[in-house]
Amino acid sequence: YAGKCGGCAYRHLTYPEELWAKRQRVQDALTRIGGLELTVEEILGAKNPEHYRNKSQYPVGADGSIGFFQARTHKVVPIRRCLIQTEAADRTAQAVGEWMRRYKISAYDETTGKGLVRHVCVRVNRKGESLCCVVVNGNKVPREPELAAYVTAAVPHTVGVLLNSNTRRGNVVLGDKYRTLFGRNYLMDTLCGLEFKLSMPSFYQVNRDQAEVLYGKALEFAGLTGNETVLDLYCGIGTITLCLAKAAKRVIGAEIVPPAIRDAKENALRNHIENAEFFCGDAADIAAKLESDGLRPDVVTVDPPRKGLAPEVIASVAAMGPEKVVYVSCDPATLGRDVKIFREFGYEAKRAAAVDMFPGTAHVETV
């Protein structure tokens, strides 16, 4: 499917060649956009570059086909087996398709706003258990018990089947309302020796093994001794925050998504971590508030979405005067731009390493 789907833009390369290209991409961004004379030390490749994704989102085409969007279009390429998704996720998507055909359940048409099924989302944990969420244009669908039966028959390790209501036009996948059709509405997983609860909207790195490599590198760069106060912006469900907590005196996590912060607080309790606290809100607002409250963290870690950091976040971080900033980035271009702005506040980039979280695709993470 690589040529048709367009998601795996590096599928034509050998893996060593892919790693070379990604490291070079990070180097170019830091040199050309960031204006740095800094060498990217290494790129840490994946031991297993296939079937690594623990979260899958399959759009459903107006004709009922389930797969992935063709590059730069909203045309769905029907896919049965994808080399980067898990087998359980692919089987779940196929089961939803069979249920739709059997009971003549309509697919959503984004041009007209009519029809029901929009997306099939699947999370899979380390033990192979999965959580299925079907996104629909409405609050219910016909034959809901049969939907749950089709999914659990195809994938017996399914711990829950959810219905998500999204009636808005546009390309946002998940709506705000969930209903559980079968089982429970969350998945448990382990990462870096810690246990995490994942609800469907929670942000969680999609490649578990490489996330451990990424967080290990971030901890190495932070160089914690056990006496530091650390501020972690864009903390999600607290994965990096709780890893930092094991090596710091106090950690503070901040995130704008309320369910993620609820999960983060639960995850701290579950792992008996008492030196972590979490705030819900926009990173710029929280950074400004903590700065005005006189917080002076020793280390600030940031893991923003692809658009990078807003200039006011960088200004607030710099105003706190941390000794170190550890920036985890999923977009080399915005990283280069932000590193350049940090330099205006007197922060100089000292080390950089790349981590291949998404083999086969054009994406790369940097610390």
> Which residues are within 8 A (CB) of 184 and not within 5 positions of it... i.e. 6 or more apart?
159, 160
Query: DSSP per residue over 113-145, as a string?
Result: TB-SEEEEEEEE-TTS-EEEEEEESSS--S-HH
Q: How many CB atoms lie within 10 A of CB 251?
A: 30
Whether 323 contacts 248, CB under 8 Å: no
- The phi and psi torsions of 247 (rounded to 5 degrees) equal -120, 0
- Is beta strand 43-44 parallel, antiparallel or unpaired with respect to 354-355? parallel
Angle (CA) 176-182-185 rounded to 5° is: 45
- Rounded to whole angstroms, the Cα distance separating 149 from 147 reads 5
Residues in the chain: 367
> Which residues are within 8 A (CB) of 203 and not within 5 positions of it... i.e. 6 or more apart?
236, 237, 257, 260
Half-sphere exposure of 324 (CA within 13 A, CB side): 19
Whether 278 contacts 261, CB under 8 Å: yes
Kind and range of the H or E element at 67?
A: strand 67-69
**3-state DSSP assignment of residue 318:** helix
**In the block, which residue shows the tokens 């590096």?**
10
Whether 95 contacts 104, CB under 8 Å: no
Positions marked catalytic? 330
Whether 53 contacts 84, CB under 8 Å: yes
